Amino acid sequence: MSALRGKTIVVGVTGGIAAYKAVDVCRRLVDAGAHVVAVMTEGAEHFIGRTTLSALCSEPVQSSLWDEASPIPHTRLGQRADLIVVVPATARLIGAYAGGLSTDLLTNTLLATRAPVIVCPAMHTEMWEHPAVQDNLALLARRGVIVVEPDEGRLAGGDLGKGRLASPERIVAVVERTLGRGDLGGLHVVVTAGGTREPIDAVRVIANRSSGKQGYAVAAEAVSRGATVTLISTVELATPPGVQLVSVETAAQMEAAVQSAAETADIVVMAAAVADFRPTLTVGHKLKKDDGAPSIVLEPTPDILAGLGARKRPGQTLVGFAAETSDLVANAEAKLRRKNLDLIVANDVSASGVGFQHDTNAVCLLRPDASMVTISLTDKRSVARAVVDIVVEIRAGLS
């Protein structure tokens, strides 16, 4: 049975030349058994007629906050929806949504929903590449919005380049995957993110530069593909919708949380930067400068991932990250074997734009059979997607 049967899908249509392709998307969704409601912006009405969409969809097109009998149309639609897909999404819509601006029925609906949201941008290449558009999309992706990247090809006016709306087939496949619980459906994924902080005294800690962005991107990707996700984190970023957050601070707290969550985990992804050493003693008060520089004696922390590797259950998939500044592949391979992992994601954190704190990363994905996939510098969500793709491939080999 189609994953879409009986689902209420709101299709937002904005004012771009690709708006005519929304007609095809609506038709395919209705054919698959979904209850489809189209919401048009004022701009969209310059490109396609309301009558066409109303005739194809399951109920008349909506476009205004004001002309409905219902007193609260702006929240009602968002609450009813099992999923919202915006086809095409213009730079204006993306900017308004990222900025939390409710300027019309569509933006109100997007802000009033807890359902998964898919945006399908389409615009000229110059606009697509503009940092403002890319930053807004990266922000939306971090919040768990699924972005269906445009294709390269012929654009309005005959130009060639990236910005052409993804094909209706691809858009509907993403809708199906999102509603059909995706390729991680039924699986429990545990992800760690951020750097641990090991207290020296009441106010000082030994920390590292991890922002948690890469781990949060993995969590957002896993939940968008149908997994039940537990995110064990030391940082306070926006939790992707649907993800269960466990906040920790030290390596010991992270170890306890990971061990507990891993009991039911099918997949564990350790993207966190766990301290390798911690002070043997933590002073309960603030050390006084006047007492002179303290001698801090360090002891090793438990290696959480190596512990999981030693007790790995049949069918469990363990993914580690390796932050290196030299001999990337050799060092990562040694960790892969020592910790009994199925995959290690190696990043050379001395390279520009790679690893700690950046919105981007570049990685090598290494498996015990010596196979290697290289992902050159891209946003962290794309790295997360590549990691999950390989995990799915590994698990397909288990069955």
| Binding-site ranges for ligand PMT (CB under 6 A) | 210-215, 251, 270-274, 276, 301, 303-305, 320-323, 335, 347, 349, 355-357
Helices assigned H by DSSP within 225-338: 251-262, 304-310, 328-338
Nearer to ligand PMT, 37 or 268 (CB): 268
Angle, alpha carbons 219-183-372 (nearest 5°): 75
- Min CB(304)–ligand PMT separation in Å: 3
Q: Which helix (H) or strand (E) holds 11?
A: strand 8-13
Nearer to ligand PMT, 63 or 347 (CB): 347
Question: Tokens in use for 39?
Answer: 């919401």
Q: How far apart are CA 110 and CA 86, in angstroms?
A: 9
Strand 188-193 to strand 228-233: parallel, antiparallel, or no bridges (unpaired)?
A: parallel
- Min CB(210)–ligand PMT separation in Å: 4
- Min CB(397)–ligand PMT separation in Å: 22
Nearer to ligand PMT, 61 or 270 (CB): 270
Question: Tokens in use for 31?
Answer: 């054919």
Nearer to ligand PMT, 173 or 245 (CB): 245
Q: How far is CA 203 from CA 14, 235, 309, 373, in A?
A: 51, 17, 34, 43
- Min CB(132)–ligand PMT separation in Å: 22
Q: Which residue in the block uniquely carries the two structure tokens 């799915």? A: 392
Nearer to ligand PMT, 113 or 211 (CB): 211
Angle between helices 380-396 and 213-224 (to 10 degrees): 50
The active-site residue, picked from 208, 331, 340, 347, is 208
DSSP 161-176: EEEEPPPHHHHHHHHH
Is 340 an annotated catalytic residue?
no
Helices assigned H by DSSP within the chain: 19-31, 50-56, 73-80, 91-99, 105-111, 125-129, 131-142, 168-179, 213-224, 251-262, 304-310, 328-338, 380-396
- Min CB(282)–ligand PMT separation in Å: 17
Q: How far apart are CA 177 and CA 169, in angstroms?
A: 12
Nearer to ligand PMT, 25 or 319 (CB): 319
Contact yes or no for 308/256 (Cβ under 8 A): no
- Min CB(15)–ligand PMT separation in Å: 36
Nearer to ligand PMT, 156 or 334 (CB): 334
Angle between helices 19-31 and 168-179 (to 10 degrees): 50
Angle between helices 213-224 and 131-142 (to 10 degrees): 70
- Min CB(371)–ligand PMT separation in Å: 19
Catalytic (active-site) positions = 208
